[in-house]
Amino acid sequence: MFKTWAECLPQNTEVCAVELPGHDRLFKEQPFIRLPPLIEAIADSIDQSLELPYVLFGHSMGALLAFELTRELRRRGAPEPAKLFVSAHRAPHLPDPRPKVAELSDADFIDELHRLQGTPPQTLENSDLMVLLLPLLRADFALCESYEYTQEVPLECPIVAFGGLDDNELKYQEVLSWGEHTTGKFHIYMMQGNHFFIHTAKKLILEVVSDELTMLKEANVGRA
């Protein structure tokens, strides 16, 4: 999904997508079902690559990963991102009011995927393909549903939060509450679309991210 983003962002911006075990080219690897070891693994893979200013962007589960990765990097003494973009996820200190779905029966689990509208119907109706995908999808749900927030001092980096106006899984106030996790600036953008507005509102999201990156670059030039 992020491979084409570089074409729409300011020059000299490198897009580095994180591939998780069990996903994409790492399909054969065992997926994580708990967040802390996954965060440590991601941090181990990138904490030597943070000499240049960087930002983090995460959508849905990725927003939680980006937030906890930022805190893990801070604990390791690495610089925080110049900006943290979080999309389609409630502020991490807020409890998830939804019933857990990771351990539902196959039929009920697939019904829930239909309701969320994030997986193409033709995929959900392909029984052979779902045999391969169900363990991965369950692992992703288990990872989020087992998450336990621990209180730390707020981040210093600015946070930009995105929400979907038609997202039945997320309320405006839950997106707004991300502002409690930074002592820096906070902006919130509500986009047209459901939980997966990152596809339908891609152009507008990239415009916002581009503007934010341009401001960061101009600020860095001004301090030089």
Identify whether 60 is a catalytic site residue.
yes
CA 192 centroid distance within chain = 18
Which pLDDT band, with edges at 50, 70 and 90, does 208 fall under? very high
- Across the chain, mean pLDDT equals 91
Distance between CA 134 and CA 132 in Å, rounded? 6
Spell out the domain ranges in the chain: 5-223
User: In whole angstroms, how far apart are CA 120 and each of 53, 100, 129, 133, 198?
Assistant: 37, 22, 12, 13, 15
Q: Does domain 5-223 have CATH number 3.40.50.1820?
A: yes
Which position has the token pair 């539902």? 104
Which pLDDT band, with edges at 50, 70 and 90, does 26 fall under? confident
Percentage of the chain exceeding pLDDT 90? 62
User: In whole angstroms, how far apart are CA 42 and each of 46, 73, 180?
Assistant: 6, 10, 25
Distance between CA 222 and CA 224 in Å, rounded? 6
Residue 151 is classified by DSSP as -
H or E segment to which residue 163 belongs: strand 159-164
Residue 107, φ and ψ in degrees, nearest 5 = -65, -45
Cβ pair 83, 216 in contact under 8 A: yes
Query: Could you say which of 49, 60, 87, 146 is catalytic?
Result: 60
Amino acid letter for position 27: F
127-184: per-residue pLDDT in tens? Answer: 888 888 898 999 999 999 999 999 999 999 999 999 999 998 899 999 999 999 999 9
User: Can you give the length of the chain in residues?
Assistant: 224
Which pLDDT band, with edges at 50, 70 and 90, does 86 fall under? very high
Query: Residue 224 pLDDT more than 70?
Result: no
Three-state secondary-structure class, residue 87? strand
pLDDT value of position 222: 41
Q: Is the dihedral of CA 20, 25, 29, 31 positive or negative?
A: positive
Which position has the token pair 């690897």? 29
Cβ pair 117, 8 in contact under 8 A: no
Cβ pair 84, 55 in contact under 8 A: yes
Query: Residue 101 pLDDT more than 60?
Result: yes
Which position has the token pair 């904490």? 47
Q: Is the dihedral of CA 205, 157, 43, 217 positive or negative?
A: positive
> What mean pLDDT do residues 37-59 have?
89
Which position has the token pair 């339908």? 200
